Amino acid sequence: MRVSPLPRLQARVVAADPPWYAAHTWVFLWAAAQVSTLGATVLLAQPGACTRPGILAERSELLAYAAACGLQPVRISPGTLEYNCPPFERLVLERNGLGGAVPLTWRHGDLIELRHTTMRHRERPELASEQAWREVVLDGARLRFRLDRQAADKTRPADPRLIPLIDGDILASVSRRDPARRRAAVWTASNRIFGCRAPGLLAVIASALVGGEPAVPAAGTWLGRLPSPAEISRIKHAADQLDRLTRAELASGRAASEPAGSISGQPTPDPAIAGSQS
């Protein structure tokens, strides 16, 4: 949506469910105006007024931008949309002792109906580039590695080991405003986060494990040199950590897929994943 060309359509109805952030919503509105014909209906999903501070001010700016795109509001239906709680969020609720108390469909959104009344040319809104992440699926577990530190990975002694950031490793929030997010270099589908001094190298090790290749030669190829004995020890340790992390992720996935009524209390503690960093 940031740069991809849009299809040539004359749609009579457009349904848009963007991420619940203003910049993303503006891009979706612009796209809706581009692919719809005059008189078309645009159905826009948006967060409710109590989702986070400043929502109503954001909505006022959003509707003003919609009007600039030729889209006029027809009605707003509060709380009409119902969302299923994703597995990673259910694990966060479990982590906070709320798994049995919060229904699967606790989150509701507002439905904003707009009418395309005027054809207006607008430039595509700019959407700031987000951090670059590489995803590796290891034995069914989705692991993401932050790559904006990749250049520095090769300029220091290689240390791709996971570094614990929070107690229990599972981030007890799904909010973008959580300060712990800024320190995460490795992120999993179950909302586990870790620091890492060489996340790009750790992604290479994970990819090697996916292909059944030994970690140390793959790391040496990426580094462009033979690892030192100390580096080899850290690389092997990181590979062991990935194995434990994968098993913990798969166990969490099984728990999250169970019916809501079968989940109660805190999740079973995982074995130590990050371990000693000495």
Residue 220 tokens read as: 């040496």
Please report whether residue 234 resides in a domain: yes
* Distances in whole angstroms, Cα of residue 93 to Cα of each of 9, 98, 103, 174: 42, 5, 10, 10
**57 and 98 co-located in one domain:** yes
Please report whether residue 257 resides in a domain: yes
**137 and 255 co-located in one domain:** yes
pLDDT of residue 259: 39
**144 and 242 co-located in one domain:** yes
Report the candidate in 111, 108, 118 with the shortest Cα–Cα distance to residue 43.
Answer: 111
Last residue of a domain, one of 88, 116, 144: 116
pLDDT of residue 175: 72
Please report whether residue 191 resides in a domain: yes
**146 and 257 co-located in one domain:** yes
Domain span at residue 93 reads 11-116
**164 and 92 co-located in one domain:** no
pLDDT of residue 132: 84
pLDDT of residue 91: 77
Tell me the mean pLDDT per 10 residues along the chain, length 278.
Answer: 81 95 94 97 96 92 96 97 85 79 90 96 81 90 83 74 92 77 90 93 96 95 93 97 94 56 33 52
pLDDT of residue 276: 46
pLDDT of residue 181: 84
Which amino acid, one-letter code, is at 190? S
List, as one string, the DSSP characters of 189-205: TTSBEEEES-HHHHHHH
pTM above 0.75, yes or no: no
Report the number of distinct structural domains present in the chain. Answer: 2
Tally Cβ neighbours within 10 Å of residue 107: 18
Cross-strand partners of 134: 145
Beta strands in the chain (DSSP E): 11-16, 36-47, 71-83, 107-116, 133-138, 141-146, 162-164, 186-188, 193-196
Q: Which H or E run contains 231?
A: helix 229-256
pLDDT of residue 278: 45
pLDDT of residue 267: 36
**19 and 102 co-located in one domain:** yes
